[in-house]
Every structure is written in structure tokens, then in C-alpha cells.
Amino acid sequence: MKWRRITEEDVRATIDEPDKTEESVSGRKNVYKEIGVRYIKVTYREIANKLVVISAVDKGKGEMR
């Protein structure tokens, strides 16, 4: 996440209060949130009552609308 300039706080905010949620493959979820001028996509999976973040990507403003 560091080289993508996405902070842990960005990821937590996206997971906690997403603007959009969709199911993905293998029990994963994709969540999206507009943060400032960025549109963050986080893919995660819940394993044994823990959230495992698979990826966090800045999709660019309005790209995933």
C-alpha cells in the first residue's frame, strides 16, 4: 500500500464505510470509497473472524462509477 500512497486509515475507512460493495471470487469482497480526489478499491476476505486485505488500489476519480 505504501508505494501506492494508500494509508491504513484509507483502507479502514473504505472497509468500514464503503460507497459501493460487490461480491468477488472465492468469498472475497470489493469495496469502494471516494476519499478526496481518489476512488479507492479494497479487496478483502474474512478468514476465521479476521479481515485479510488482498489489495488496495487507487482507481482514479470516477473510474468505477
12 three-class SS: helix
Instruction: Please tell me the number of Cα atoms within 13 Å of 22 on its side-chain side.
Output: 9
According to the model, what pLDDT value does residue 4 have?
A: 61
Q: Name the band, by pLDDT with cuts 50, 70 and 90, for residue 61.
A: low
CA dist 45 and 42 (Å) reads: 10
CA dist 57 and 32 (Å) reads: 10
Q: Name the band, by pLDDT with cuts 50, 70 and 90, for residue 65.
A: very low
Q: What is the pLDDT of residues 9-60, one digit of tens each?
A: 999 999 999 999 999 998 999 999 999 888 999 999 999 999 999 999 998 7
* 62 has a pLDDT exceeding 60: no
